[in-house]
């Protein structure tokens, strides 16, 4: 009788503590304590909350575990909870490396901001931002620091000769090529000595729109996966042609459907393994006709029948090739009307 009682008691004690430990492992303790504190500090105004620094992110690789910010007694931490909430890093989920080339122009901060707002929902995402710039700018550095994502910040300047020279039609100058290649190079460098994680590489331009579903579609790519992209090639969307058997057999495009890979940059993802298997595969700069930039990379990686169609056999549109119009700044005049120290 006593033994049974002891057993029961031990069980009643051990079980909840075990559950608690599991939960705390999943959710950093800060969240729990934040919410507790929030319940008690109902009437605190938000003014002290506005300068909270972002926690839970770090730069560099390969270890991408989350560091917990020290918990102080101020309500600051609650704001972190609201501002930047990437989901906890999972050791089992494949990582999505998103390579984003970017360049300085008025809407850059806005574009990166809303991109970050989208990425903050995606688990195990590592954002590789490559600036087309001689130096890493403060604007991007600060944005990445504050965002809360796992990121890597690189830069490489496109020589002016490349910007203008390759083709007199600016639209055919492959933009962002050097930057994307640097992203690939960094990836190969990071895993030259260590076992690469499961994962994919995705090239995400900073002015497109991405649904959250897209990242889950690409996450389990074995070699190269493809899907439709809206607003490219002068169409509502371009899409791979998928046979009933689920294989890619062609391209539903109007513009040059006979390209080896008639697909937009936003329409495919490559597994990390494949990137590392083929260390010389990269985007070509020279002799690349308009619309062939993607082909210049993919032809060294995969053939058409090796492609994996996603998005319900390429029947759903999960990414939009949106573009942002240049804002008119005519009223700034020659001297500039607004304070240049205010960052936009």
- Interface with a second copy (CB under 8 A), residue from 109, 273, 278, 299: 109
Asked if 175 touches a second copy (CB under 8 A), the answer is yes
- Interface with a second copy (CB under 8 A), residue from 72, 134, 234, 287: 234
Q: What are phi and psi of 150, to 5 degrees?
A: -75, 130
Q: By C-beta, is 190 or 253 nearer to a second copy? A: 253
Element at 175 (helix H, strand E): none
The span of 40-48, 178-186, 245-253, 301-309 binding a second copy (CB under 8 A) equals 40-48
205 has binding-site annotation: yes
Question: How far, rounded to the nearest angstrom, does the alpha carbon of residue 200 sit from its chain's CA centroid?
Answer: 11
- Interface with a second copy (CB under 8 A), residue from 62, 85, 250, 306: 85
Q: By C-beta, is 170 or 279 nearer to a second copy? A: 170
Q: By C-beta, is 109 or 223 nearer to a second copy? A: 109
Q: Which of residues 114-173 bind a second copy (CB under 8 A)?
A: 114, 117-118, 120-123, 170-171
Residue 267 makes CB contacts below 8 A (sequence gap 6+) with 226, 227, 228, 229, 232, 238, 240, 294, 319
Peptide bond into 62 cis (omega under 30): yes
Q: By C-beta, is 84 or 181 nearer to a second copy? A: 84
Q: Which of residues 6-35 bind a second copy (CB under 8 A)?
A: 9, 12-13, 16-17, 19-20, 22-23, 26-27, 32, 35
Active site residue: 294, 308, 325, 332, which one?
Answer: 294
Q: By C-beta, is 157 or 216 nearer to a second copy? A: 216
Closest CA to 241 of 313, 303, 320, 306: 313
Handedness of CA 121, 122, 124, 130 (dihedral sign): negative
Q: How far is the CB of 279 from a second copy (least distance, A)?
A: 28
Residue 224 contacts residue 271 (beta carbons within 8 Å): yes
132 has binding-site annotation: yes
102 has binding-site annotation: yes
Q: Is 294 a catalytic residue?
A: yes
Q: Which two tokens stand for residue 26?
A: 């999943």
Asked if 278 touches a second copy (CB under 8 A), the answer is no
Q: How far is the CB of 302 from a second copy (least distance, A)?
A: 20
- Interface with a second copy (CB under 8 A), residue from 184, 219, 269, 301: 219
Asked if 83 touches a second copy (CB under 8 A), the answer is yes
Asked if 92 touches a second copy (CB under 8 A), the answer is yes
Residue 317 contacts residue 240 (beta carbons within 8 Å): no
Asked if 331 touches a second copy (CB under 8 A), the answer is yes
Q: Which two tokens stand for residue 55?
A: 């926690």
Asked if 39 touches a second copy (CB under 8 A), the answer is yes
If 0-12 CB within 10 Å is exposed, 13-18 middle and 19+ buried, where does residue 112 land? buried
Q: How far is it, in rounded angstroms, from Cα 20 to Cα 27? A: 10
Q: How far is it, in rounded angstroms, from Cα 246 to Cα 261? A: 17
Closest CA to 230 of 271, 263, 270: 263
Element at 242 (helix H, strand E): strand 237-242
Q: Which residues are catalytic?
A: 294
Annotated binding site for UDP-alpha-D-glucuronate, which residues?
101-103, 132, 175, 180, 205-207, 321-323
Annotated binding site, which residues?
101-103, 132, 175, 180, 205-207, 321-323
């Amino acid at each position: 009788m006593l033994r049974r009682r002891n057993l029961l008691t031990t069980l009643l004690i051990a079980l909840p503590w075990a559950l608690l430990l599991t939960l705390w492992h999943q959710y950093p303790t800060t969240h729990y304590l934040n919410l507790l504190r929030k319940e008690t500090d109902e009437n605190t105004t938000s003014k002290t909350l506005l300068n909270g620094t972002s926690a839970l992110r770090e730069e560099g690789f390969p270890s991408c575990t989350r560091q917990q910010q020290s918990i102080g007694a101020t309500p600051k931490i609650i704001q972190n909870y609201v501002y930047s909430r990437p989901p906890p890093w999972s050791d089992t989920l494949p990582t999505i490396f998103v390579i984003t080339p970017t360049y300085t122009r008025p809407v850059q901060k806005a574009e990166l901001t809303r991109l970050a707002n989208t990425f903050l929902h995606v688990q195990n995402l590592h954002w590789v931002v490559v600036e087309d710039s001689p130096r890493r700018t403060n604007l991007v550095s600060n944005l990445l620091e504050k965002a809360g994502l796992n990121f890597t910040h690189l830069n490489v300047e496109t020589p002016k000769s490349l910007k203008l020279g390759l083709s007199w039609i600016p639209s055919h100058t492959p933009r962002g090529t050097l930057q994307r290649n640097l992203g690939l190079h960094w990836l190969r460098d990071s895993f030259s000595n260590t076992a690469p994680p499961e994962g994919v590489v995705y090239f995400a331009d900073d002015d497109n729109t991405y649904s959250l579903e897209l990242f889950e579609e690409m996450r389990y790519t074995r070699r190269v996966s493809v899907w439709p992209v809206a607003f490219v090639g002068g169409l509502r969307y371009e899409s791979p042609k998928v046979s009933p058997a689920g294989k890619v057999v062609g391209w539903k495009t109007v513009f040059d459907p006979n390209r080896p890979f008639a697909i937009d940059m936003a329409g495919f993802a490559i597994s990390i393994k494949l990137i590392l298997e083929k260390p010389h595969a990269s985007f070509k700069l020279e002799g690349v006709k308009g619309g062939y930039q993607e082909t210049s990379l993919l032809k060294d990686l995969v053939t058409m029948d090796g492609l994996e169609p996603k998005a319900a056999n390429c029947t759903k549109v999960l990414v939009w090739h949106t573009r942002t119009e240049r804002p008119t700044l005519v009223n700034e005049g020659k001297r500039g009307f607004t304070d240049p120290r205010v960052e936009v």
